[in-house]
Amino acid sequence: MEAKNTAILLRNREYHSSLTRNFLRKLHVYPPFVERLGLEKELEGHTGCVNCLELTESGELLASGSDDLNAIIWEPLSYKKKCVIATGHTGNIFSIKFLPCTGDRIIATAAADTKVRIHSVEKNETTQVYHCHIGRVKRLAVAPNMPSLVWSASEDGTIRQFDLRQPHCCNSNSKNCNNVLINLNVHSSALAEPKCIAINPLRPNMMAIGCNDPFVRIYDHRMLAKYNLDIRTSGAQNPEDFTLPEGCVTYFAPGHLPPRLTRDFPKKFRTYVATYVTFSPDGSEVLTNMGGEQVYLFDINHPNKPVSYQRLNGTTNGVIDGMQIHPSGGGTNGYTLNGLNGKTPVHVYKSSPYLKGKGLDLDLPPRALHLKTIGNEAFCKQQFLTAVNMYNEALNLAPNSAVLYANRAAAFIKRSWEGDVYAALRDCHKALTLDPNHTKAHFRQARCLYELRWCQEALSCLNHFKERFPDQAEGSAARSLERDIRAAAFAETQEKEPEEPSEPETSGSTRRRRRLSLISDQEKSLRSTSFDYSQRYCGHCNTTTDIKEANFFGDNGQYIVAGSDDGSFFMWDRNTTNLIRVLKGDDSIVNCLQPHPSVCILATSGIDPVIRLWSPRPVDGSGDTRKVDELEAAARANQRRMNADPLEVMLMNMGYRTRLSVAEGSDDESDEFPMACRPN
């Protein structure tokens, strides 16, 4: 059927020019093309790591920036080097942008030397230099139809807006530059370091910021006034003078990460950093590559509140014995189930065509039922990644099946990758929303809360489980879980450090560090009300560089792509979240991935001094030498890499054999070892 539809589109395109756009949207990145994606060409010209790529809106030109301090303009379809621009930077170039509506004649670059520079491609010269920042400038952003505006994100904590139409001089004192749009130092502490920035292509007033924490901040920059950093001239006397206008910013973060910022458990070797943010083609979602974790997709039109557990009682104010019903909108999805009692609002059943009795799947579509059966068999064989993939596909066909959510939760718990336990909690929550009598979902919810070390919530949930299902209360599983929860709660109280006495005057450096890490009350409030993710993509590793990208591939964003520390780049189906392809893109690390706007071509770069172009290869499989066949093995190895001790990773990168390394030809899956990577 799909082949027939394709033929019809091809035929109609010859007669109806209005169908050209429809044809592009459907077949720009077509599943058979993705299945045959392979290396087409290597563009050589740089002598250092290629840290940034940017294609023009038409796709006719490709710009690249490198550690060699040069920017190169390419014609990617003909593999030609158009020109080399000596940028004048004295530090690694981290970002490059074509200014829209300038006929691709002007580019902007940003670098580790704290400078933002504007260059004429035609004249091959630098036309403007901005010295405003005092920290490395990691990313630039531009907006469609706004050729004179450039925004920058710097590790000095500020987001600045440059207007090329206005004269600007900041050589004498950068604090006097009246172009600071956001100063995270006065909100998120003086240790805040913005890493990435993006402008919504369809709603240019919407700006996304990623920082050295797990929060993605989306601002309406129309509500922000520019100012300078000189407090004396600005008249600001304290941080409260920098309070953001009501409603100008919304925070997003994976629901399990903010609690880890204030908890000692589990102890991690790494921090969470949003290394890249980008908006979907239709502007309704934002994608982020979360350093130290996974790739996350956030729905900005219909945001979700994080899942938690709270036993509620009574039947007033919309609360029915443990189930709280919120009005539609505002990110609550109509209602939120916080507990159980067997009573369900009528509208829940009306919206659940696959819900029968106690959540049995008798009415699952045949294909979904077949996928569920395969998933169950994989689970029994302890092939938990395969089980998750099968349940993902089945849920794409039957999104209202409580059994599928409960089964996937069990597979997540057993797989136990980064974020899996919280994902399982979300699935249990969804299963209980669809079927409040689902015994296993309720019990697994308690186990997830315990695994997350939310001990009080776990104990409350387990007690409620015992009340709701007395026949299960005395079972060995329930008793064992209760012992574990109480032991963890006791250990948590024992591990709490006593309050430190007031510090002597000599410990000024410690006091200064603590003062620098203080965040504002408004920031605390925004963090506490942050919205949760809608989709999660697992398999890559992002712990070594802070410029690693994740992007949409396809005119409708049908696929998600991201680079990895193992030298590969990963591709996922956007809807099912299943990993579908892994390709070796670099000898060390893949950082950048930029899709062509109208042709099935993907440009990638990393530590190697080359740019690689990827396109569909011949049907016979020739030219497919960089394909990684063992997707599951690559994904598992990356999950282990994310949790490795930094010292072990350093030794591994130096060529020493560690417990993660493997002798060639080993059959032990636990010893799989991906390609070593070097820090950028």
Q: Specify if 156 maps to a domain.
A: yes
pLDDT at 633: 96
Q: What CA–CA distance (Å, rounded) separates 413 from 411?
A: 5
Q: How many CA atoms lie within 13 A of 411 on its CB side?
A: 27
Whether 3 is covered by a domain: the verdict is no
Beta strand 249-252 with 216-220: parallel, antiparallel or unpaired? antiparallel
How is residue 678 written in tokens? 């070097």
Are residues 295 and 437 located together in one domain of the fold? Answer: no
Q: 93 has which bridge partners?
A: 111
Q: Are 96 and 167 in the same domain?
A: yes
Q: Does residue 52 fall inside a structural domain?
A: yes
Contact 41, 613 (CB under 8 A): yes
Residue that has been written with the tokens 């989306």 in this structure: 218
**Is residue 105 located within the same domain as residue 189?**
yes
Phi, psi angles (nearest 5°) of residue 94 = -110, -20
What's the confidence (pLDDT) of residue 238?
54
Q: What is the distance, to the nearest Å, from the Cα of residue 290 to the centroid of all Cα atoms in its chain?
A: 5
Asked if residue 547 and residue 461 are part of one domain, the reply reads no
pLDDT at 26: 63
- For the record, the structure tokens of 615 come out as 């396109």
Q: Is 300 inside any structural domain? A: yes
pLDDT profile of the chain (680 residues), mean per 10: 51 51 68 93 97 96 98 97 97 97 93 97 94 96 94 96 87 72 89 96 96 96 87 46 87 93 55 96 97 97 90 33 33 31 31 40 86 98 97 97 97 97 97 94 96 94 94 91 93 64 53 67 93 98 95 94 97 98 97 95 97 92 84 95 71 53 38 36
C-alpha neighbours within 13 Å on the C-beta side of residue 27: 14
| Contact indicator for 424, 256 with CB cutoff of 8 Å | no
Q: Are residues 461 and 566 in the same domain?
A: no
Per-residue pLDDT at 328? 30
Q: How far is CA 46 from the centre of its chain?
A: 29
Q: For residue 646, is it within any domain?
A: no
75 strand-pairing partners:
80
**Same domain? 87 vs 209:** yes
Could you tell me if 473 and 540 lie in one domain?
Answer: no
For 517, list phi and psi in degrees, rounded to 5.
-90, 0
> What are the Cα distances from residue 137, in Å, to 327, 393, 416, 535, 671?
43, 41, 36, 30, 39
Say how far apart CA 434 and CA 451 lie, in whole Å.
Answer: 24
Q: What is the pLDDT of residue 30?
A: 86
Distance CA 666, CA 644 (A): 20
Report how far residue 554's alpha carbon sits from residue 595's, in angstroms, rounded to the nearest whole number: 8
> Cα-atom radius of gyration of the chain, to the nearest Å?
26
User: 243: which DSSP letter?
Assistant: P
Phi, psi of 486 (to 5 degrees): -65, -35
Nearest Cα residue to 44 out of 608, 626, 607: 608
Domain hosting 131: range is: 35-228+244-306+530-641
Are 450 and 558 in the same domain?
no
On whether residue 505 sits in a domain, the answer given is no
Are 409 and 555 contained in the same domain?
no
User: What residue ranges in 88-225 does DSSP mark as E strands?
Assistant: 93-98, 106-111, 116-120, 125-130, 137-143, 146-154, 158-163, 180-183, 196-199, 206-210, 216-220
Kindly state whether residues 610 and 481 are assigned to the same domain: no
Do 537 and 617 reside in the same domain of the chain? Answer: yes
CB 535 within 8 A of CB 522: no
**Domain tally, the chain:** 2
DSSP 532-560: BPSEEE-S---SS-S---EEEESTT--EE
| Contact assessment for residue 419 and residue 294, using Cβ atoms and an 8 Å cutoff | yes
In sequence order, what are the residues at sequence separation of 6 or more whose Cβ sits closer than 8 angstroms to the Cβ of residue 498? Answer: none
- CB-CB neighbours of 504 under 10 Å: 9
Chain centroid to Cα 309, Å, comes to: 25
User: What pLDDT was estimated at residue 473?
Assistant: 86
Kindly write down the DSSP assignment for every residue of 334-391, as one continuous string: T-EE-S--S---HHHHHT-TT-BTTTB-TT--HHHHHHHHHHHHHHHTT-HHHHHHHH
Please report whether residue 70 resides in a domain: yes
Residue 568: the pLDDT is 97
What does the pLDDT read at residue 308?
86
What was the pLDDT predicted at 173? 57
Distance CA 407, CA 391 (A): 8
Here the tokens at position 560 are: 């998600």
Count the alpha carbons within 13 Å of 164 in the hemisphere toward its beta carbon.
21
| CATH, residue 108 | 2.130.10.10
The CATH number given to whatever domain includes residue 427 is: 1.25.40.10
Alpha-carbon gap, residue 532 to 286, rounded angstroms: 12
* 340 assigned to some structural domain: no
Q: Which of 445, 472, 493 is the last residue of a domain?
A: 493
Phi, psi torsion values for 309, nearest 5 degrees = -125, 130
Backbone torsions φ then ψ of 391, nearest 5 degrees? -65, -35
**Among candidate residues 436, 468, 493, the one where a domain is terminated:** 493
The pLDDT, as a whole number, for residue 643 is 82
Same domain as 562, residue 483: no
